[in-house]
Amino acid sequence: MNSLDAPAELDIFDRWLVTIEARFSIQIDANRQGAFKSALTRFVESIGMDLESLDERRKSGRVDAETWSMLLHLATNHETRFFRSLPATERIVKLCEGITSPRILSVGCSSGEEPFSIASALLDAGHPTFRVHGTDVSSVCINTAREGLYPRHEGVGLLAAAPTRGNKMRFHRFVREMVTFEEHNILQDRPVQLANPNIVITQNMLIYYRTDTRYEILDRLSAMLVPGGHLITGPGETLNWSHPFMTRIPNSNPNVFQRSVDV
């Protein structure tokens, strides 16, 4: 049996649940499984197959990387919005005070609203230069983010974006040059295309991973930081995680950890 093969007695959707969770080390919440089943069925039908035939193709190693990427996209929740976590954005602006050209990594950035929210807030705070780099496992989300075109949002000022037709806005070219995106799975060994960030932020991504995998990701993110850098996570994402080089800042909202300056 292949290491990703699910027990044969399960129905085909449950077998796919087991397969996807094992391949990507994620957990699909029970309350999302109905929506995932519908989305998965529609996608498979769109490529002229059904779940059984795609499973047979998987068993023979004939599922390509693009299809796996779409399956992961469908399995994870990409709900996001501008300034979704205002305390996190405000904390980032505060942490960037005194840093000439801050480097910020947004992991699990979905379709780009969080990185652009950070950029807009930094511009409003008077930061002329910075780099915000967003990563996500979904190529669909990353392609949207790179366009920099969204429905208008009152929190995004004219410094960052210009209104366009259809009640939309597009981030200025100079902003899009400072806010970059990359399709990336943090569990891969390939380095992220942003070295030595001052701040790493991940909001509501880690909840999809098992506890041991979650801790591995937090360890990896911590190792990326410059000495003295900060890791920001969403509520409930860190549980009892600790790291010898990281100190949790007490009474912080959101959760904030600082890397030791001595490592």
Query: To which residue do tokens 């391949």 refer?
Result: 23
Tokens of 27: 């957990």
Q: Give 6's pLDDT tier (boundaries 50, 70, 90).
A: low
Number of helical (H) and strand (E) elements in the chain, helices listed first: 9, 10
Question: Is the model more confident about 203 or about 260?
Answer: 260
The answer to whether residue 77 scores a pLDDT higher than 80 is: no
Alpha carbon of residue 256 to chain centroid: 17
CATH 3.30.70.260, applies to 86-259: no
Q: For a pLDDT cut of 70, what percent of the chain falls above it? A: 96
Residue type, 228: G
Tokens of 163: 């209104």
Tokens of 191: 């380095």
What is the model's pLDDT at position 1?
A: 46
The answer to whether residue 15 scores a pLDDT higher than 60 is: yes
What pTM value is reported for the model?
0.86
CA dihedral 191, 192, 194, 200 (to 10 degrees): -120
Residue 209, beta-bridge partner list: 26
CB 109 within 8 A of CB 115: yes
Of the candidates 249, 194, 240, which has an alpha carbon nearest to the alpha carbon of residue 221? 194
Reported as a single tens digit per residue, the pLDDT across 131-177 is 999 999 888 899 999 999 999 999 999 999 999 999 999 999 999 99
What's the Rg (C-alpha) of the chain?
Answer: 20
Q: Where are the domains of the chain?
A: 12-75, 86-259
In degrees and rounded to multiples of 5, residue 177 shows phi and psi of: -75, -25
Query: What's the mean pLDDT when you consider all of the chain?
Result: 91
Tokens of 119: 């950029």
In degrees and rounded to multiples of 5, residue 53 shows phi and psi of: -70, -35
